[in-house]
Amino acid sequence: MVNIYVGNLSYNTSEDDLRHMFETHGTVDRANLAMDRATNRARGFGFVEMPNDAEARTAIDSLNETELDGRKLMVNEAKPKVERSNSRRDRY
């Protein structure tokens, strides 16, 4: 399973648009856009999960720096999420 980061998305891009873009390169298990919790609007980036490593690498290589809705996309393998502490006490 490869988790792919897609950055510099137009705020008008939908999860279906994201899924369809990657399905031309293989099977997509999940496509989701990052949403702002306060406004429930897209934040301009998202993630795509592809089960086949070779298909995912092909998608990354093919789609990085291509244009969608007038914006040049940044596509690469997602880095693992870093856990952050919410407590001020844990910062000192």
pLDDT tens digits, one per residue of 40-84: 999 999 999 999 999 999 999 999 999 998 999 999 999 987 777
Domain of 49, in residue numbers: 2-79
Q: Identify the CATH number of the domain in which residue 64 sits.
A: 3.30.70.330
DSSP 6-45: EES--TT--HHHHHHHHHTTS--SEEEEEE-TTT--EEEE
pLDDT at 90: 55
pLDDT at 87: 59
In a domain, residue 91? The reply is: no
In a domain, residue 84? The reply is: no
Amino acid occupying residue 30 = R
In a domain, residue 49? The reply is: yes
In a domain, residue 88? The reply is: no
In a domain, residue 87? The reply is: no
Mean pLDDT rounded to a whole number for the chain: 92
% the chain with pLDDT above 90? 82
- CA distance linking residue 55 with residue 65, whole number of Å: 18
pLDDT at 80: 84
What are the tokens at 38? 């306060």
Tell me, letter by letter, the H, E, C secondary structure of 40-64: CCEEEEEEEEECCHHHHHHHHHHHC
